[in-house]
Structure 1
Amino acid sequence: MSNLEVHNDTTGPESQIRNDREGIPSLDSLVALALAMYRDAMVPSEDNSLKKKHLDRVYGDVVDVTIDTCLDHLVNINIVDEWVNGGDWLIINERRDEIVNDEDLEVLLRDETERLVDDLEPLALADGGGDEITRREVVAEALGVGLDEIEEQLVDDEELWDWRENLETAIEAIEDEETVEKGGDYAPIRVIRNPYRYELTEWAVELAEA
């Protein structure tokens, strides 16, 4: 249940929104979100932009449709601006729990790979025909290679993204296998899309203050 507030102003951003999106079911929600963002100074001159998930948490109860729907319309009519802080992608070192975009990806991958390889049983032990499954066997199966081909498969200096994916596959295979446990400290290098941040456009502020 929302706490939708509609003022039906004849000027400012509300008038612009109503003219540009006349007749759509979510119209009142678009107005309510834009006015709430202006009230809370989510404007270019302030450092108050928010990610979508935070917008949903703060303003989800003032609209009758999804925040996604509202933002799509408001961005399209230049009332809300969407932008990213930094590059389009974030590189995350999970072991350190840090964003590492400014570090050398090859160095990061080599460090985690060495940690993983150090945790794999010696080839003679893994190939000894014992009943207990080994981490080396788990990784070899996940990568689709022989027990003696893991290191070569993991490290590919010319294709860093393949290297990253292979490392992630190997580590997740160990973590997901109930019969083995990690014996070292290592984690994948994740790559995720940098989430958009949202605030009112300068034009929307000008409309509100006219």
Structure 2
Amino acid sequence: MNAYFSNSARTHAEELLPVVIEKPSHYTMSTNDSDDTDRLEQYIRDEKGHLDSCESMVELANWLYANEYFETNDREIPTSDLKEILGDRLEYGVNTLLDHLEGINVVDEVSQGGGRFILHERTGRAFFDPNNREMLPLLEEEISRFLEDLHEQESQAPESEDAGDDKTQSIADGGEIEDADSDETDETDAGGEKEPDDVPTTLREVAAAALDVEVPLEDALTNPTDHIERIIRFDDVVTAVIESDEVGRGRAYEPMGWRNAANKWVLTMTAKARKENESLS
């Protein structure tokens, strides 16, 4: 578990751009089928040489070795990152290659302690135990940041409304309403569709639409005694705010909720030993 949390402290950029070791002392690259100095490559060819994807398997295994994704040094890489980094360089799909290499004990899928976990995205902390009380202060902090943003945006709203009131007052004082463009056609008369009037345009409206509850937004986020329910509600709200084209965030807060554990991979100790021509016993 501690190993996983240490991994989560790494940034996503570090995972996407692993350090490639140029000509490491422990690395040999064999490109000739008859060259048996690289025991790992030879082993893969012996086991999977009948498959057209064999050379792509060798390339993937060599890449994992060169970038030191080993069982012994706490470096793991998700399937999604392998696809992003190597997808255009390999002739066959990453999932297919990993399945073949796992079948001959060249790579191993790292267990994450469960299929789902709660992720605090702003800090990257992951909680596999939903009853872990350490997550509660993080949840309260995120909700507090959101509510502060909500109230700050609402306190600024009257300024824009006052501008609209000034225009209304000038008309009431004898001003004329500007004529609509004579070239414009009434959408209703032309059979066109009008823009819906109920599209949420404020932070509160977007958040309320995401929750669809009949209580004030503040109560919906803070009153449930079940902290998991509060997490789910907060996650839905912030996700809706991020995806909305009508509103934005004025403070730093990020989603927090259930996530699926990504499959992560390493080169096995046996494969590393073969690569370095060490004894397998």
TM-score over 0.5 for the pair: yes
Q: Confirm or deny: 8 A CA contact 1:91 1:191 kept in the other structure.
A: yes
- Is the Cα–Cα contact under 8 Å of residues 90 and 99 in structure 1 kept in the other structure? no
Conserved in 2, the CA contact under 8 Å of 1:89 and 1:193?
yes
Equivalent residue of 2:126, what SS? Answer: coil
Matches within 5 A, 1:1-210: 5-9=31-35, 12-38=39-65, 42-45=69-72, 49-52=76-79, 55-56=82-83, 63-83=90-110, 91-94=118-121, 97-101=122-126, 104-120=134-150, 134-146=202-214, 148-155=215-222, 156-160=224-228, 162-208=229-275, 209=277
The answer (yes or no) to whether the contact 2:120–2:126 under 8 Å persists in 1 is no
Q: How many residues align?
A: 197
Which of these two proteins has the greater Rg computed from alpha carbons? Answer: 2
The normalised TM-score by structure 2 is 0.53
* Percent pairwise identity: 26
* Bigger mean CA deviation after superposition, 69-78 or 172-181: 172-181
TM-score, length basis structure 1: 0.67
Structure 1 unpaired stretches of 5+? none
AA aligned to 1:25 is D
RMSD: 4.0
For structure 2, the residue ranges without an aligned partner over 5 or more in a row are 1-29, 128-132, 156-160, 165-199
In the superposition, relative to structure 1, how do residues 110 and 66 fare at CA in structure 2: closer, same or farther (>3 Å)?
Answer: same
Match of 2:174 in 1: none
Given the superposition, is the C-alpha separation of residues 81 and 172 from structure 1 closer, same or farther in structure 2, using an over 3 Å criterion?
A: closer
Tell me if structure 2 keeps the 8 A contact 1:91–1:99: no
Given residue 143 of structure 1, which amino acid in structure 2 is its aligned partner?
L
Change (3 A) 1:149 1:31: same
